[in-house]
Amino acid sequence: MPAAVTDEQNRVDREALLDAAEKLFYENGIQAVGMDQVRAASGLSLKRIYRFFEAKEDLVVAMLKRRDQRWRGSLAAHVDRVADPRERVLSVFDWLAEWFAEPGFRGCAWINAHGELGASSEAVLAEVRAHKQAFREQIDTWVRVTGLPVTEPVYLLAEGAIVTAGISGDPAPARQARDAVAALLGSP
Amino acid sequence: MPAAVTDEQNRVDREALLDAAEKLFYENGIQAVGMDQVRAASGLSLKRIYRFFEAKEDLVVAMLKRRDQRWRGSLAAHVDRVADPRERVLSVFDWLAEWFAEPGFRGCAWINAHGELGASSEAVLAEVRAHKQAFREQIDTWVRVTGLPVTEPVYLLAEGAIVTAGISGDPAPARQARDAVAALLGSP
DNA sequence: TACGATAGGGAACGATCGTTCTCAACGTCA
DNA sequence: TGACGTTGAGAACGATCGTTCCCTATCGTA
């Protein structure tokens, strides 16, 4: 078996492909980016890209899956640095504030993908729903510990802050949502 | 000047065009709908469509503008049927609940448009921001009367409910947000 | 009735999309 | 060393996009 690509090289190239795709799709929207741009940015040939993923849709789904792991992992790591249950819930919104302030922030990749492809791609729709449900469950886990039944409003405030910051470009909704959650959780 | 089209006919056809475009764009996404589908659904020729609007982008913006008037007008009419200031704010979420339960509900047309075209069309981005700001100001007007400084959390809860109902397809977020707002507004 | 300006339908255009195919180059084993 | 299997680069393909153009039908006017 000649000219074989090692597993390690495959792993590295696949990551480079997902890196390039994620960056391009997030910055420009998914439909606005052609596979040829993904090829140029990733440094791989189209042939190899289509060996990794059967179609663009599969690349999009894989990109969202990997981003979900990184995004929720980063959030969980941030929350886990805080001990007090009440403060842990509030720290979610500190993390959101940092995210909103990042250069190039352009809202929620899943909400954007839903707006673009939710009506036409069943696979993307399922991935978006899976991410949102997982995020809601994370919040539920942290809110439960406070003993207060406020998972839903906390989640809705987080979603409202994300979508509003994404459209306005202003990170202020993170603090506004945080203040509202603090009120829901009662005085410390 | 022969074969002239009357102003009345122009008005009617323009409305039919916007009706067809709005329905198609909302159901399928904007980029997924070709101008030829708009032509077929509206009953107008491409030539006449391009006489009304120089480009697809202008049709999209006009569609969003008209939808904004209708959407916020309907909301305001619903709220104005209620007298008590506290109940007026809560009635926003009753109206949202009705909207979410409509057949074919597929989330917020402006949030979806932002996800699709926010990065590539300055005009669409401006229209989305204008709608969201106008919606926020409506809520602010109604919340002010209660004397409580809760405009931002009420607005964020509304946005969170809209985006969550749109993705999940479940109208429950309207009631959850309403309950949270009721808590923010204090006991009646 | 004959003329001419306009509007209509829809074919056509160039661009670009996602995807596939060609073909030369290369590395590996018989 | 020679044959073969695989790779890479990117040309090519069919489809479809937004937009324009061609040509005929139609109507008001003279």
Half-sphere exposure of A173 (CA within 13 A, CB side): 28
Q: Which residues of chain B have a CB within 8 Å of the CB of A153?
A: 157, 176-177, 179-180, 183
**Taking the C1' atom of D26, which residue's CA lies nearest?**
B3
Size of interface A-B (CB pairs under 8 A): 143
Residue type present at position A26: Y
Do B115 and A120 lie within an 8 Å CB cutoff? Answer: no
For residue A21, which of B65, A29, B169 has the smallest C-alpha distance? A29
Chain B: give the shortest CA distance to residue A42, in Å: 21
Within 10 Å of residue A74's Cβ, how many Cβ atoms? 13
Q: What percent of chain A has pLDDT over 90?
A: 90
> Which residue bears the tokens 């405030």?
A157
| Diameter over CA atoms, chain B | 69
Question: Could you give the count of Cα atoms lying within 13 Å of B15 in the half-sphere of its Cβ?
Answer: 6
Residues A61/A123, Cβ–Cβ less than 8 Å: yes
Percent above pLDDT 70 for chain A: 94
* A127-168 per-position pLDDT tens digit: 999 999 999 999 999 999 999 999 999 999 999 999 999 999
* Strand blocks (E) in chain A: none
Q: Which two tokens stand for residue A164?
A: 């509003």
**What are the pLDDT digits (tens) for A35-72?**
999 999 998 989 999 999 999 999 999 999 999 999 99
Within an 8 Å CB–CB cutoff, is residue B117 touching chain A? yes
Query: Cα(A15)–Cα(A50) distance, rounded to whole angstroms?
Result: 14
Cα gap B180→B168, rounded to integer Å = 19
- Find the Å distance, CA of residue A43 to C1' of nucleotide C24: 20
Per-residue model confidence as pLDDT tens digits over B40-77:
999 898 999 999 999 999 999 999 999 999 999 999 99
DSSP label of A32: T
Closest CA of chain B from A48, distance in Å: 28
CA distance B112 to chain A (A): 4
Q: End-to-end CA distance of chain B: give it in Å, rounded.
A: 67
Q: Is the CB of A6 under 7 A from strand C?
A: no
